[in-house]
Amino acid sequence: MKTVITIDIDWVPDRVLGHTLELLSKSGVPCTIFATHATGLLNGLDRKQFEIGVHPNFNPLLNGGNEKPKKVVERLKELFPQARGIRSHSSLVSNVLVDMFCEMGFEYESNVCLPYSRNLELLPLWNDVLRIPFNWEDYLHFSYGKEFFDMDLDFNAGLNIVNFHPVHVFLNTESRERYEGAKPFYQDPEHLAGYKNLGKGAETLLNKILKMNLDFVKLEDLVDEYRRGNNTY
């Protein structure tokens, strides 16, 4: 029974990212961060608590962009050379991309969401890259129209991998309407703060899980256990 908290930082300004990092740092709970850009806030993190992977955005390629996918990833790999894992923005993945991930030295990708699944497992792909699905995400939770009283997961059995976004933690988002209203001010923390939900939302759920007595690990820890043949989840 293991739980992994992952964070997709999605180009948020430092004040928004710092809010989430402070919650995590104070809790001491390990987590995996997928980074989109350079920021000093990531430089001084305790690597025993925080793993940093990369979070490239291939979406412009779907809209006629001509930058090669490898170039997109290379920029992030230069910033975070020790990254072992990769998760694409919008979870975009393909067999071609997975082969590229392997060629670039990534050990795992985490692009498949199986909402509320009770049966997560690490899946070896044809090139020995591990596919690590996740089963909860704040954006999907409010997109389903679910309440934020709990995650609808069973933390007493199996593996759970959850994903939060700092913007939703900062806003304590509980609905798509709140996020769409705030989104034009994404890079303006002062204005964003005025849209914060004072009820139950993404932040209250993150705080709730951080206080639970769970066996928290990072994604890289799962990879290491799998490679050793010791799958204890």
pLDDT confidence tier of residue 233, bands split at 50, 70 and 90: low
What rounded mean pLDDT belongs to the chain? 95
More confident residue, 186 or 230: 186
- Local confidence band at 65 (pLDDT 50, 70, 90 cut-offs): confident
Q: What is the per-residue pLDDT across 67-124, written as a single tens digit (0 to 9) for each?
A: 889 999 999 999 999 999 999 999 999 999 999 999 999 999 999 999 999 999 999 9
What local confidence, expressed as pLDDT, does residue 214 receive?
A: 95
3-state secondary structure of 84: coil
List for the chain the helix, strand, coil content (%; round to 5). 40, 15, 45
| Structural domain spans, the chain | 2-228
Give 167-219 pLDDT, tens digit per residue. 999 999 999 999 999 999 999 999 999 999 999 999 999 999 999 999 999 99
Helix (H) or strand (E) run with residue 226 in it: helix 219-228
CATH for 2-228 (3.40.50.1370, 3.20.20.370, 3.40.50.300, 2.40.50.100): 3.20.20.370
